[in-house]
Amino acid sequence: MLKVEGVSTFYGNIQALRQIQIKVKPGEIVTLIGANGVGKTTTLKTISGLIRASEGRVLFNGQDITAEPPHKIVEMGISQVPEGRCVFPRLSLRENLEMGAFIRQDKETIAQDVEQVFETFPQLKGRDRQLAGTLSGGEQQMLAMGRALMSKPKLLLLDEPSMGLAPMIVVEIFKIIEEINRQGTTILLVEQNAQLALKTAHRGYVMETGQVVLQGATDTLLNNDQVRRAYLGEG
Amino acid sequence: MLSPYYIQLVILVGINTIMASSLNLIIGYTGQLSIGHAAFMSIGAYASALVTVHFNFPFIASLLFGALVATLFGLLIGAPTLKLKGDYLAIATLGFCEIVRIVFLNLDITGGSVGLRGIPKKTTLLTVVVAVLITIFVLNRIINSRIGRALIAIREDETAAESMGINTTYYKVICFGVGAFFGGLGGGLFAHFFRFIQPNSFGFMCSIEHLCMVVLGGMGSMWGAFIGATAITAIPELLRFLGDFADYRMVIYGAILVIMMRVRPQGIIGQRLSADQVSIGEKLFNRWAGMGTGGKRG
Ligand SMILES: Nc1ncnc2c1ncn2[C@@H]1O[C@H](COP(=O)(O)OP(=O)(O)O)[C@@H](O)[C@H]1O
Ligand SMILES: [Mg+2]
């Protein structure tokens, strides 16, 4: 579904990504883990077109999207939940969700899909008129995810959904991620919370300073000594 | 009937409503801190006046011409400055306003610093009222359309807007173009009312006045722009009647603005969101008062 082939990305003179290779197959949850500042967000932004790769290609369903602008990429079916959630603070929950459907032509079914999002995120139910800025961090994360789903993506990019949230809420959000995946959305999940990410995803990539250093099935990675030492705080 | 003095006041309120509501589209709805709106007024004023004087354009045609030339410059300034945010955009638009002023000061066709005289008086109370209604109608239609939703998304969070598939560059250019169009229309009405224009009428202070109207009235509110324009136009006039204190009227005027920003930073109209959310008015106040709580993003 998604192929990132030898992608390098720069911020000015600083190279943030070095020849990244990532593959996501339909129906999978793939996670990208690594410490702060290794280039996880940059990878997602390169995929979604917010930053241009200076080398390599990004293919989505066989189509080269490396040079496409972000709005075209959303139209093709890739939706991103940005790091730090970025809800529209002074718009209501419902308006936030409707904004997520901006690219859609089928206006009639949007209201239906808003209801669907409320089913997926029961905590948001009945609060359509509340301003998004007044939600708790966890609720904002849920809203941002629901909003991203409103564009009916084939591939959902999640950038650190656990960031700054209490452990209990994180667990809840990861359950919902699994649920979204069961309903047919492929997911690329960026996380610092390696433990939970590896337990949720099917396959994983480990990044260090702009490079992918390890990859494999999450079961294998969970048992990998290097991963256990560096990311799971063991041994 | 209304005395000429009051008619002039109402006409000024109308023109300023056009200026404020079009700037409100840029600042209040799209969140782009543009403080050079007088540049578009100036371009519209000169362009329309010149075609009236030299080519005898019918009034409506010259107004349209002025507005379209201003639009062209709105698009031109919009495109390169779109990557700029907050303070940086403010400085760029301010610079643009100064460039326009200096160019008009030095051109022969505009009469340089002497100004352009002998423009026929064509703006009447009726034309201004009609122009205000058209402006508000069109801006309202835009705000309540798909374009308006894109603009509001950009104001709320530009990165998120981009993630929603909104072509932010495209919509920001539209926003500047539309804002400039109506700014230019205001300028054309102004030129054909006062019959005399000079570059310094559309300088920095003029831009700041437009900004004050938007902020005072309430950002992101059409009624706010109207009320702001009325207040800013009328208050200095009302203060004239203070008799002995008339000399202090600009001081009082300034004090009213400062107090307003402290007491009701969201403007006369415009809801306060919640205690922890700082309105744009508040940010502006803090920045200008040198209290520096605002971040880089305006
Ligand atoms: N806008 C930027 N300008 C310059 N450098 C940046 C910018 N954004 C990120 N970086 C740098 O790129 C590297 C990767 O950042 P990022 O992708 O945000 O990491 P992560 O998401 O894994 O924490 C870091 O060294 C960071 O400092
Ligand atoms: Mg990151």
Per-residue confidence band for B298, with pLDDT thresholds at 50, 70 and 90: very low
Residues facing A205 on adjacent strands: A32, A215
Report the C-alpha gap between B28 and B22 in whole angstroms.
10
Closest approach of B231 to chain A, Cα-based (Å):
27
Contacts of residue A38, defined as CB under 8 A and 6 or more positions apart, other chains included, come to A207, A208, A209, A210
Tokens of B154: 């950009």
Contact A91 B150 (CB under 8 A): no
> How far, in Å, from the CA of A39 to the mean position of ligand 1?
6
Tokens of B141: 């239609």
Per residue in B77-96, pLDDT (tens digit) is: 888 887 787 788 888 999 99
Give the pLDDT of residue B259: 81
Question: CATH class for domain A2-83+152-231?
Answer: alpha beta
Closest approach of B73 to chain A, Cα-based (Å):
25
Contact A151 B156 (CB under 8 A): no
Question: Which residues of A lie closer than 8 Å to B, measured between beta carbons?
Answer: 48, 50, 69-71, 73-75, 79-82, 86-91, 98-100, 102-103, 131, 133-134, 144, 147-148, 151
Give the pLDDT of residue A20: 96
The residue to which tokens 């000399």 are assigned: B247
Domain tally for chain B? 1
Boundaries of domain holding B289: 4-296
Query: Nearest 5 degrees, angle CA B70-CA B209-CA B158?
Result: 65
Report the C-alpha gap between B230 and B228 in whole angstroms.
5
Report the C-alpha gap between A162 and B179 in whole angstroms.
41
Contact B163 A99 (CB under 8 A): no
Give the pLDDT of residue B294: 35
Give the pLDDT of residue B270: 64
Give the pLDDT of residue B296: 34
Contact A88 B160 (CB under 8 A): yes
Per residue in B208-258, pLDDT (tens digit) is: 899 989 988 888 888 889 999 999 898 878 777 776 666 676 777 778 778
Domain ranges of chain A: 2-83+152-231
| Residues within 6 Å of ligand 1 by CB | A 11, 14, 16, 34, 36-42
Q: Is residue A56 within a helix (H) or strand (E), and if so which, with residue range?
A: strand A55-60
Q: Testing the interface with B: which of A46, A78, A88 to mutate, by most B Cβ within 10 A?
A: A88
Q: How far is CA A184 from CA A40, A80, A104, A162, A177, in A?
A: 24, 16, 19, 22, 11
Report the C-alpha gap between B254 and A27 in whole angstroms.
63
E strand intervals along A70-227 = 78-81, 155-159, 186-191, 203-208, 211-217
- Kindly state the average pLDDT of the residues A56-75: 96
Q: Is residue A63 within a helix (H) or strand (E), and if so which, with residue range?
A: strand A63-64
Which residue's CA lies nearest to atom 2 of ligand 1? A11
State whether residue A22 is helix, strand or coil.
Answer: strand
Question: Which pTM was predicted?
Answer: 0.88
Closest approach of A103 to chain B, Cα-based (Å):
6
- Kindly state the average pLDDT of the residues A85-101: 93
Report the C-alpha gap between B54 and B20 in whole angstroms.
30
CA atoms within 13 Å, Cβ hemisphere of B264 = 15
Tell how strand A78-81 and strand A63-64 pair up.
Answer: unpaired
